Chains A and B, each alone.
Chain A
Amino acid sequence: MTLNDMNPIDKWAMFVSTGLMFLGIVVLGFLELLDGTPHGAAPITNDAGDVIATPLVDPTIRTGLVIAGLVVLLLLGVYRLMVPVTGPEETPTAQTAD
Chain B
Amino acid sequence: MATQTQTPLLGEHTRLNLRGGWQQYWLASLRLLVGWWFLHAGLSKLLADGLNYTYGPIYLQGMTDTALGGIPVWMGNNLAWLIKPGVPLFETLIGLAIMVGLLTRLAAFGGVFFMTLFWVGNAGFGHGLVNGDLMGLLLFLTVGILGAGRYFGLDALVEKTGFVENHPRLRYLLG
Which A residues are within 8 Å of any B CB, using their own CB?
A: 1-3, 5-7, 10-11, 14, 24-25, 29, 32, 38-42, 59-64, 66-67, 70, 73-74, 76-77, 80-82, 84-87, 89-98
Contact = CB atoms under 8 A, between A and B. Distances in A.
A29 B129 contact: yes
Nearest to A63: B67
Nearest to B8: A85
Nearest to B12: A85
Given A29-B128, A90-B171, A70 B123 contact: no
B66 A60 contact: yes
Interface centre among B5, B6, B8, B11 (most CB of A within 10 A): B11
5 contacts: A1-B13, A59-B129, A76-B9, A92-B159, A96-B3
The 7 A-B pairs of least Cβ separation, nearest first, read A10-B11, A1-B13, A64-B67, A41-B125, A97-B2, A84-B169, A6-B11
Contacts, number: 128
Contacts of A25: 129-130, 134
A67 B171 contact: no
B8 A80 contact: yes
Interface in B140-175: 141, 147, 150, 159, 165, 168-169, 171-173, 175
Contacts of A41: 125-126, 128-129
Interface stretch (B26-34, B45-53, B112-120): B112-120
B172 A77 contact: yes
B11 A84 contact: no
Nearest to A89: B12
Contacts of B109: 74, 77
A92 B147 contact: yes
Given A6-B12, A10-B12, A98-B2, A84 B129 contact: no
A67 B129 contact: no
Contacts of A60: 65-67
Nearest to B11: A10
Interface in B7-29: 8-15
